[in-house]
Amino acid sequence: MTNTAFSTLPLNPEQLSNIQALGYEQMTPIQAQGLPVILEGKDILAQAKTGSGKTAAFAIGLLHKLDVTKYETQALVLCPTRELADQVSNEIRRLARAIPNTKILTLCGGKPLAPQLASLEHSPHIVVGTPGRILKHLIDKQSLNLEHLNTLVLDEADRMLDMGFHEDIMQIINTTPQQRQTLLFSATYPDQIREISDAIQNDPLDIRIETSHNENKIEQIFYEIEKGERTQTLISILHHYKPESTVVFCNRKTQAQELAEALWHEGFHALALHGDLEQKERDQVLVQFSNKSSSILIATDVASRGIDIKDLSAVVNFELSPDPEIHIHRIGRTGRAGKEGLAFSLFMASEAHKVNRIEEYQNITFNIKQTSTLKRRENFKLSPPMITLCINGGRKNKVRAGDILGALTAKTDLPGKQIGKIDIFDNIAYVAVERPIAKQALKILSEGKIKGRKFKVRKLR
């Protein structure tokens, strides 16, 4: 068995004794795999969730090579939210107790600029902050200097991308030395994370902490239906299983549109994605579904190509595809990253041959259930947890995610954690907010200013 004691690491005695005093006994998997490589100065790309011990992993690493005699900013940690930045700063401070005179500064939006500018008059050794505010100090105020940076950490990188910080992050990185160590942590691995890693890292060690022995935990359930029962069976499935987010696959675009309208009449928040939509409409549908402002996406196979939706609870094959490979591709949208997923398929007796082909292709026998086992609930509502606000300004108006976040939280009591995904397009921006604060958020944005300017804001249905 591998020795996971911190004493196996090449750390100085003061640091080891402080780690012990803080109650750290054995390294967590991310620390055991990551720390030896981090201490060697190499880059890492790590999949690790909150609570995995990743903060201590990168904090111990950046403190190990810190030179407190040099009053220069040597490490920068980028976080998606003010709350996370505060947690990370506190953890680094605890781990830095063994290194006297370490100056750690947190720079986040929603806080007054004047005290931050005063603190930056003498360069801090370590800066932790959110992309929008870091960029403000770097570019607008020129109060932060990163030319001596040797360690860059992107914490919860996927969440930063979700919040629309991609451009800000790249702009920040362009001001740092090319010779630096870059540590990238993400709970999920969308394609964008891989692209960012390729662009900013140097041969990183890829660390996946999640156990992936049974990567695909998809339960497939088939319902045999009579003619004309499809829509009612779908509604019964939604009542019975209450999935938070569902993609329903149709074979024809007219059917997708009609089904979305039928579900609206039943009180469900459903949107259709098909080839007849203009790009702007398509963007809006995908924004609302991926930011959890809509519970149900009804899509054709062609329209759904290339969409990557995280945490999808269920997939429904409203009609079976004649191609078993397309069936596999459809259901593979759920049950990702080791999570359990549900895949429902509806078929009539005349379509049994399609079921047989899929069974042969997958080499399994399906669980076929009767629709009578599905239970409808009284006064049932499947309300999405978020609501999308649409802002009439985007990239071309120099609107950034940090500006929207700042407008919502700077002089208000709205906590950053109730604000979800921010998507910015050329002339329009979308921000998801939790349902209970939607009215308040709409009022703040409508009556206030974003980046010193007034923009029209409306709530999407």
Contact partners, residue 366, CB within 8 Å, separation at least 6: 220, 221, 222, 355, 358, 359
Distance in angstroms (rounded) separating the CA atoms of residues 71 and 122: 7
Residue 378 lies in a domain: no
pLDDT at 213: 32
Residue 380 lies in a domain: no
Asked if 237 and 194 sit in the same domain, the reply is no
Residue 40 lies in a domain: yes
Average model confidence (pLDDT) across the chain:
89
Contact status, residue 247 vs residue 336, Cβ threshold 8 Å: no
pLDDT at 312: 85
Asked if 397 and 348 sit in the same domain, the reply is no
Across 303-316, average pLDDT: 73
Across 139-144, average pLDDT: 94
Categorize the per-residue pLDDT at 49 as very low, low, confident or very high, splitting at 50, 70 and 90: low
Categorize the per-residue pLDDT at 182 as very low, low, confident or very high, splitting at 50, 70 and 90: very high
- What is the total count of domains within the chain? 3
pLDDT at 214: 37
pLDDT at 410: 82
Asked if 33 and 169 sit in the same domain, the reply is yes
pLDDT at 249: 94
Distance in angstroms (rounded) separating the CA atoms of residues 373 and 446: 48
Asked if 127 and 250 sit in the same domain, the reply is no
Asked if 189 and 225 sit in the same domain, the reply is no
Residue 305 pLDDT greater than 70, yes or no: no
Residue 1 lies in a domain: no
List the structure tokens of 206.
């890829």
Percent of the chain surpassing pLDDT 90: 65
**Which residue segment(s) compose the domain that 436 sits in?**
386-459
Categorize the per-residue pLDDT at 378 as very low, low, confident or very high, splitting at 50, 70 and 90: confident
Asked if 52 and 190 sit in the same domain, the reply is yes
Asked if 347 and 450 sit in the same domain, the reply is no
pLDDT at 306: 53
For the entire predicted model, the pTM comes to 0.62
Categorize the per-residue pLDDT at 212 as very low, low, confident or very high, splitting at 50, 70 and 90: very low
Last residue of a domain, one of 175, 190, 208: 208
Residue 206 pLDDT greater than 50, yes or no: yes
More reliable by pLDDT, 86 or 73: 73
Three-state SS letters, the chain = CCCCEHHHCCCCHHHHHHHHHCCCCECCHHHHHHHHHHHCCCCEEEECCCCCCHHHHHHHHHHHCCCCCCCCCCEEEECCCHHHHHHHHHHHHHHCCCCCCCCEEEECCCCCHHHHHHHCCCCCCEEEECHHHHHHHHHHCCCCCCCCCCEEEECCHHHHHHCCCHHHHHHHHCCCCCCCEEEEEECCCCHHHHHHHHHHCCCCEEEECCCCCCCCEEEEEEEECCCCCHHHHHHHHHHHHCCCCEEEEECCHHHHHHHHHHHHHCCCCEEEECCCCCHHHHHHHHHHHHCCCCCEEEEECCCCCCCCCCCCCEEEECCCCCCHHHHHHHHCCCCCCCCEEEEEEEECHHHHHHHHHHHHHHCCCCEEEEHHHCCCCCCCCCCCCEEEEEECCCHHHCCCHHHHHHHHHCCCCCCHHHEEEEEECCCCEEEEEEHHHHHHHHHHHHHCCECCECCCEEECC
Across 143-153, average pLDDT: 97
Across 175-181, average pLDDT: 95
Asked if 441 and 311 sit in the same domain, the reply is no
pLDDT at 307: 61
Asked if 304 and 197 sit in the same domain, the reply is no
Residue in 26, 103, 18 with CA at minimum distance from that of residue 60: 18
The CATH number of whichever domain residue 343 belongs to comes to: 3.40.50.300
Write out pLDDT tens, residues 325-373: 888 878 887 876 567 889 999 999 999 999 999 999 888 889 899 999 9
Distance in angstroms (rounded) separating the CA atoms of residues 333 and 328: 9
